[in-house]
Amino acid sequence: MTKDNLPAAAAPSAVLEAALYVDDLDAARHFYGTLLGLEEIVHVEGRHIFYRVGGTVLLIFDPHATVTGSDNPDLPVPGHGAYGHGHFCFACEAAEISAWHDRLNALDIPIEADFHWPGGARSIYFRDPAGNSLEMAEPRLWD
């Protein structure tokens, strides 16, 4: 089947949610909720924590708990999960990135990279307790 033979459908307009996987939900909850100050939406002990990030939701899962699908027929979510370090980028304006740089330093969270992309947008990179690569970047990075 070629692209020309496919039924018509509009391209998705936004990312609604994205997931990272961690082995220690308590450490993740402290990091994302307390240190980063994200708004917690849902917490299911031993399984997941969900946070609001603007119009997007950051899902934090324990991959050992999500490898099998749901047994609830009203929520037939298939099994999923990933092992290893993932990546998530937060959108921040230049002044916010500077403030986060200072906050991360005050929290003794190492900043792995701090640079300006060829178009001028700034990014800083750091890690969560599970080793996931986190980035704070100016949205103009993708202009």
Does residue 9 fall inside a structural domain?
no
Which position has the token pair 């001028």?
A: 120
Separation CA 28–CA 43 (nearest Å) = 11
Predicted local distance difference test score (pLDDT) of residue 1 = 64
The whole-number average pLDDT for the span 111-132 is 97
Does residue 76 fall inside a structural domain?
no
pLDDT band at 30 (very low <50, low <70, confident <90, very high): very high
Does residue 78 fall inside a structural domain?
no
Separation CA 53–CA 39 (nearest Å) = 8
Separation CA 78–CA 11 (nearest Å) = 23
Instruction: Kindly state whether residues 104 and 140 are assigned to the same domain.
Output: yes
Does residue 31 fall inside a structural domain?
yes
Q: Which of 69-83, 114-128, 129-143 has the lowest mean pLDDT?
A: 69-83
CATH code of the domain containing 127? 3.10.180.10
Predicted local distance difference test score (pLDDT) of residue 20 = 97
User: In whole angstroms, what separates CA 142 from the centre of its chain?
Assistant: 18
The whole-number average pLDDT for the span 65-80 is 90
Q: Which of 10-19, 33-42, 47-56, 85-94 has the lowest mean pLDDT?
A: 10-19
pLDDT band at 6 (very low <50, low <70, confident <90, very high): confident
Which position has the token pair 């997007």?
A: 56
Question: What is the span of the domain harbouring residue 135?
Answer: 84-143
Structural domain count of the chain: 2
Predicted local distance difference test score (pLDDT) of residue 26 = 97
Separation CA 101–CA 123 (nearest Å) = 10
Separation CA 7–CA 116 (nearest Å) = 41
Separation CA 4–CA 85 (nearest Å) = 37
Q: Model-level pTM? A: 0.92
Which position has the token pair 């002990």?
A: 45
Instruction: Kindly state whether residues 105 and 59 are assigned to the same domain.
Output: no
Does residue 143 fall inside a structural domain?
yes
Does residue 77 fall inside a structural domain?
no
